[in-house]
């Protein structure tokens, strides 16, 4: 999402709607190109000012409540959610857990299904909201 509005509510709404990036229109052109490539590659990209506010908010425990379904995750799915929130790719998760890529994809799919998520950006938000991971 590219916008002039630097408001947290817009960030939350965009990420919940499935956006994988959120930049302000005053971003330099090279940053926009980087963002397009990052999102294409499956990464999540937020404007630095937004990232700072989100980290401060979640570090202070003032984020919205985690969605229902978190308690339905198995121990392994919980591990996978934490690793997603820490920014690991599926290949890196497979290496960390010593499992195959198809197994990781199955776990990721189940996490998304149980929590009603569309993508990794939403998974990161849920993990921070639930206090499963902390900045730093």
Residue 99 shares a structural domain with residue 125: yes
- pLDDT tens string, the chain, 136 residues long: the values are 888 887 777 777 887 788 888 888 888 888 888 888 878 877 777 877 777 777 776 666 555 555 788 989 999 999 999 999 999 999 999 999 999 999 999 999 999 999 999 899 889 988 988 888 887 6
- Structural domain total, the chain: 2
Read off the tokens for 33.
Answer: 């190109």
Question: What gap in Å lies between CA 2 and CA 21, rounded to an integer?
Answer: 8
Evaluate whether residue 89 is within a structural domain: yes
Instruction: Kindly state whether residues 43 and 76 are assigned to the same domain.
Output: no
Give the N- to C-terminal CA distance of the chain in Å, as an integer.
26
Considering the domain boundaries, does residue 103 fall inside one? Answer: yes
Residues constituting the chain: 136
Handedness of CA 31, 34, 40, 43 (dihedral sign): negative
Q: Is the same domain home to 122 and 74? A: yes
pLDDT at 60: 63
Q: Write the CA distances from 113 to 22, 43, 110, integer angstroms.
A: 24, 20, 5
Domain housing 82: 70-129
Cα angle 79, 82, 86 (rounded to 5 degrees) comes to 135
Q: Given CA atoms 58, 13, 6, 8 in this order, what sign does their dihedral have?
A: negative
What CATH number should be reported for the domain holding residue 112?
A: 1.10.10.10
What pLDDT is stored for residue 1 in this prediction? 82
What residues pair up with 45 in beta bridges, in sequence order?
A: 21
Partnered with residue 91 across adjacent β-strands are: none
């Amino acid at each position: 999402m590219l916008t002039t509005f630097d408001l947290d509510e817009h960030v939350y709404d965009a990420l919940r709607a499935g956006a994988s990036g959120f930049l302000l229109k005053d971003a330099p052109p090279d940053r926009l190109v980087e963002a397009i490539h990052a999102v294409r590659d499956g990464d999540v990209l937020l404007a630095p000012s937004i990232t700072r506010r989100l980290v401060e908010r979640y570090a202070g425990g003032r984020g919205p409540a985690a969605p229902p379904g978190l308690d339905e995750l198995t121990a392994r799915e919980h591990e996978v959610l934490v690793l997603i929130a820490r920014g690991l790719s599926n290949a890196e998760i497979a290496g960390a857990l010593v499992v195959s890529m198809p197994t990781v994809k199955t776990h990721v799919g189940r996490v998304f299904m149980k929590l009603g998520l569309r993508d990794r950006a939403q998974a990161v938000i849920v993990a921070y909201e639930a206090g499963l991971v902390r900045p730093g």
